[in-house]
Structure 1
Amino acid sequence: MDSLKGKGKGSKGASSSSKLDLIEEWSNWSLKKAKVATHYGFIPLIIVIGMNSDPKPHLFQLLSPV
């Protein structure tokens, strides 16, 4: 019977734990999206920063290893 305590809609413990679960779910979702955005956006960001630098290099110069 102790396991049934706090699981009803009227108890404050259940609502605060559900709020915490919701916050945890949203934070996990946002961190996964940020990870994907960082993964796919890092190289293009470096290329854009390099193309806007003072001695304007061509795209081939930015991508070549030499």
Structure 2
Amino acid sequence: MASRVSLKTKGKSSSGKGAKGMEEKSASQYFKEWSTWSFKKAKVITHYGFIPMIIIIGMNSEPKPQIHQLLSPF
């Protein structure tokens, strides 16, 4: 006889109804969760990627500057 495996989630469910609330999510709730997740990831990518992007764009422009010219304020 096979034993049943129960998956338990950690933390609070978004609807506060326990396991039933996880099954009864509407499309708008899924969209809200997805958009929140994607905006958080985009914020991190923008935060850590902005300065390297500026350096890469500067290195590919004409005339070709040296790296110290890009990083110095003068």
Q: TM-score, normalised by structure 2?
A: 0.64
Q: What is the CA-CA distance between 1:19 and the residue it aligns to?
A: 1.7
- 1:65 aligned to 2:40? no
Deviation string 1:17-37 (CA, Å, 9 cap, x unpaired) is 522111100000001101110
Q: CA RMSD in A?
A: 1.9
Report the Cα offset of residue 40 of structure 1.
0.6
State the match for 2:61 in structure 1: 53
Aligned residues: 53
Q: More relative contact order in 1 or in 2 (CA 8 Å, sep 6+)?
A: 1
User: Gaps (5+ residues) in structure 1?
Assistant: 1-8, 10-14
State the alpha-carbon separation in 1 of the partners of residues 69 and 33 from structure 2.
Answer: 44
1:38 alignment partner, SS class: helix
The separation in 1 between residues aligned to 2:58 and 2:38, in whole angstroms, is 29
Separation (CA, whole Å) in 1 of partners of 2:71 and 2:39: 30
In structure 2, the partner of 1:37 is: 45
Name the CA distance, whole Å, in 1 between partners of 2:54 and 2:66.
Answer: 14
Gaps spanning 5+ residues in structure 2: where? 1-19
Partner of 2:35: 27
TM-score for the superposition, normalised by structure 1: 0.71
Letter in 1 for 2:51: I
Q: Which amino acid aligns with 2:68?
A: F
